[in-house]
Amino acid sequence: MMKARVIVTLKNGVLDPQGKAIEGALGGLGFDGIGAVRQGKVFDLVLSATDKAAAEAEVAQMCEKLLANTVIENYAIEIE
Amino acid sequence: MMKARVIVTLKNGVLDPQGKAIEGALGGLGFDGIGAVRQGKVFDLVLSATDKAAAEAEVAQMCEKLLANTVIENYAIEIE
C-alpha cells in the first residue's frame, strides 16, 4: 500500500480570482507584505500498488484524465 | 521575498464527500486499487518578509484566522 499526494496548481498567467480574494481578505485582517496568493488543490490517495514507479505512472494517468485540467493547471506527484 | 506553501487537509474522521466522489469517479474510469481519496487545499503565498521564522509565524497566524478551519482541518506550512 502506498500513499500519493497530488498538488494541482494553476499555470502561470491563468487568472486566480479566488487567490485574489484571499489576498484582499488577508490585507483586511491586517497582514502586510503579501505579494500574491494563488490557490490550488491537493489530493491524498491511498493506492494498493506496491511498485513506486508503477504507482507514479498510474497517478499521472489519473491527473491527466480526472484530477487536473491540464489546459490551465499543472500537477505534481509525490509518492511515499 | 519568501515563498510559503500552506497545505490544508481535513482532519482524520471528518467526512470528505468530495474525496468520496473522486474515488468513485476514478473507479468508474477503470482505476483499480484506490484505497481512499481525500481532498484538501493548497495556498501559495509570496511574502515580503526576509526572516524565515518570522514568516512562518505570520503564515501560522493567517492559517488560524483565515486559511484553515482548525475545528475540522489541519494545516502544514513550508517556507522556501
Q: What's the pLDDT at A68?
A: 98
B42-60 b/e (C-beta count within 10 Å ≥ 16 → b): bbbbebebeeeeebbebbe
Domains defined for chain B, CATH in brackets: 2-79 (3.30.1280.10)
The predicted model gives A47-63 an average pLDDT of 94
Backbone angles phi, psi at A38, to 5 degrees: -125, 135
Helix (H, G, I), strand (E, B) or coil at B12: coil
Residue in chain B nearest A33 by alpha carbon: B48
- Are A40 and B43 an interchain contact pair (Cβ–Cβ within 8 Å)? yes
CA-based angle A58:B78:A22, to the nearest 5? 95
Count of CB pairs separated by less than 8 Å, A with B = 97
Answer yes or no: is pLDDT of A63 > 90.
yes
CB atoms under 10 Å from CB of A53, counted, come to 9
- Report the residue from A31, A36, A66 with minimal CB separation from B25: A66
- When computed from its CA atoms, the radius of gyration of chain B, rounded to whole angstroms, is 16
Q: What's the pLDDT at B57?
A: 95
Label residue A1 by pLDDT band (50, 70, 90). Answer: confident
Q: Which residues of B touch A34 (CB under 8 A)?
A: 45-48
Burial class (CB in 10 A: 0-12, 13-18, 19+), A79: middle
d(CA A55, CA A4) in angstroms, rounded, equals 8
In the numeric block, which cell numbers belong to residue A17?
480570482
pLDDT in tens, chain B (80 residues): 899 999 999 999 999 999 999 999 999 999 998 989 999 999 999 999 899 999 999 999 999 999 999 999 999 999 98
A22-41 b/e (C-beta count within 10 Å ≥ 16 → b): bbeebeeeebeebeebbbbb
- Sign of dihedral through CA atoms A17, B39, B9, B11? positive
CA-based angle B20:A76:B51, to the nearest 5? 110
Q: What's the pLDDT at A33?
A: 87
Q: What's the pLDDT at B1?
A: 86
Label residue A17 by pLDDT band (50, 70, 90). Answer: very high
- Are B9 and A42 an interchain contact pair (Cβ–Cβ within 8 Å)? yes
